[in-house]
Structure 1
């Protein structure tokens, strides 16, 4: 979905009813209402923080509060609850639904659900679903794989050898996520999750071989539906970075920003006789070491400085 995208209440019910035991109790005509945020507990009455376009979850505390009110107070509280543009209301914990709550839902055409799950579990599960559905998304070109448990995006010009490299990595036991089109979702402040459009899932196009079904060729463990992006590997022609880039260490870390997240990037020159699969595996291992605070370049500089100073 693009930024600002929404998901309808009807879609949420279809996707999550079985998982969180949702029962549609009232106002099915309001299924086209849209959601734009994760659910929050509805604090009603004198602590009213009702937000538009949200699911309001009523747990034990809220229902006990409603039961403590007089008939007039209860009607006022329910009217106040439905005075905002709610997307839906869920009564959790298997609580009974007061008739006045059902009437308010029908009157305002606000979908009302019940669930047997405790409200914290319900909110956590629905919140995760909505964060996934409403995350800012972008499509990028490349091949996305899981290498040594790390999500890597292989980029480069057409014909540079991305698919051939991906195929060799797969034969070495790594896993394909997506070829050609990679959908990246901004699922957390510093996390992008990559997946493949359903139409081309499991397929890899290799020049000279055509379109290959990786799942059928190598088995279920050779593919993965999604993976967090941790490293970008850009295949480049040697002339693009010069002779120095081919033979010397890159002393400056490179990153590429996607959806506001800075992703580490390495540039690998493509030259005859180079084993790119091994280079990519080592690049991933080196990245993992850096995330653990181990930087080979810094270690080398310290050792060199110690040698210059005559230290042991």
Structure 2
């Protein structure tokens, strides 16, 4: 199960949300294991089924007005109800004044408590998007990930087959590098994989004979990109000993590869001396775009061939 600590949440969000850590600092290593962000007034008045563990609870104006309206006994009961299930963190919106009893409960339960000047809808929108990204199921694959003609393309293949050299040529043709050697893929939606570069490798490409190249320095900011949805896999392979069949000549040898339960279209391109692989990758991408539009060049050719045969008869 993917999870992060409250410390990471704070470090990643403190500038955007202007977070102020006011209590519960001993809970810095508490884990968030769900991307659900709650804002439920019922949680304050004993409806414990609305309070789930390892999640972020946002308290807005309505919740804080309710707390401020209670007498000391009722306030203690409401706060005890809120903390009865272990929360990962609490964020109070609009820089609302925090009751001392809430600060005390936060420290006693080691539950991080933050305040923010942002209104609760803005807080929840940001946190939901952030947590959905960082808690997404992920896998790391070997290959070079690029944006080719606006489409996320993973170039895979065995070691030393020429993936990085091909990526360098594509970059010189105006395409963009996302990750070299290793790419982290995150399932950000039921049918979508987002590819990102590990921070250590970002902006660098290793080419045999040239060493490690800083693509951003060599080609400028426009030559690199932080992330992109994976839409196509181009697999480089050594040509088989036997020749291609007529069917393989008429249509690209295509299939799919399943990653995190999602089928990604995959095209295999044989590598041989004299072949312009950069052009072939560009054409593979163009051809895939046509397929997405319902146009299959091989089928069109075979239909024309069939019509000519029938015409001769």
- TM (norm. structure 1) is 0.88
Q: Which residue of 2 aligns with 1:142?
A: 143
Q: Which residue of 2 aligns with 1:5?
A: 2
Q: 1:309 to 1:119 in 2, by over 3 A?
A: farther
- 2:242 & 2:10 partners in 1: Cα distance? 53
Following superposition, the deviation at residue 141 of structure 1 comes to 1.0
Q: Which residue of 1 aligns with 2:20?
A: 23
Q: 1:169 to 1:22 in 2, by over 3 A?
A: same
Q: Does 2:250 correspond to 1:248?
A: yes
Contact 1:238 1:246 in 2 (8 A): no
Contact 2:254 2:268 in 1 (8 A): no
Q: Which residue of 1 aligns with 2:189?
A: 188
- 2:226 & 2:283 partners in 1: Cα distance? 24
Contact 2:250 2:298 in 1 (8 A): no
- For 1:170-199, what per-residue CA distance to the aligned partner results, in whole angstroms no more than 9, with x for missing partners? 110001111111122222222222222233
Give the total of aligned pairs. 306
Q: Show structure 2 runs of 5+ residues with no match.
A: none
Superposed CA RMSD in Å reads 2.4
Q: 1:99 to 1:275 in 2, by over 3 A?
A: same
Other structure's SS at 1:77 match: helix
Residue correspondence of structure 1 range 278-297 to structure 2 within 5 A: 278-297=279-298
Q: Does 2:274 correspond to 1:273?
A: yes
More off after superposition, 268-277 vs 106-115: 268-277
Following superposition, the deviation at residue 281 of structure 1 comes to 0.8
Q: Show structure 1 runs of 5+ residues with no match.
A: none
More off after superposition, 291-300 vs 90-99: 291-300
Residue correspondence of structure 1 range 34-183 to structure 2 within 5 A: 34-38=31-35, 39-42=37-40, 43-44=42-43, 45-48=45-48, 49-183=50-184
More off after superposition, 289-298 vs 152-161: 289-298
Following superposition, the deviation at residue 307 of structure 1 comes to 6.8
- 2:211 & 2:26 partners in 1: Cα distance? 49
- 1:74 & 1:264 partners in 2: Cα distance? 57
Q: 1:297 to 1:97 in 2, by over 3 A?
A: farther
Following superposition, the deviation at residue 242 of structure 1 comes to 4.3
Following superposition, the deviation at residue 68 of structure 1 comes to 4.5
- For 1:117-170, what per-residue CA distance to the aligned partner results, in whole angstroms no more than 9, with x for missing partners? 121211121222222222222221111111111111101122222122111101
Match of 2:11 among 6, 9, 14: 14
Following superposition, the deviation at residue 5 of structure 1 comes to 3.2
- 2:46 & 2:137 partners in 1: Cα distance? 35
Q: 1:66 to 1:239 in 2, by over 3 A?
A: same
Q: Which residue of 2 aligns with 1:262?
A: 263
Contact 2:46 2:81 in 1 (8 A): no
Following superposition, the deviation at residue 32 of structure 1 comes to 1.7
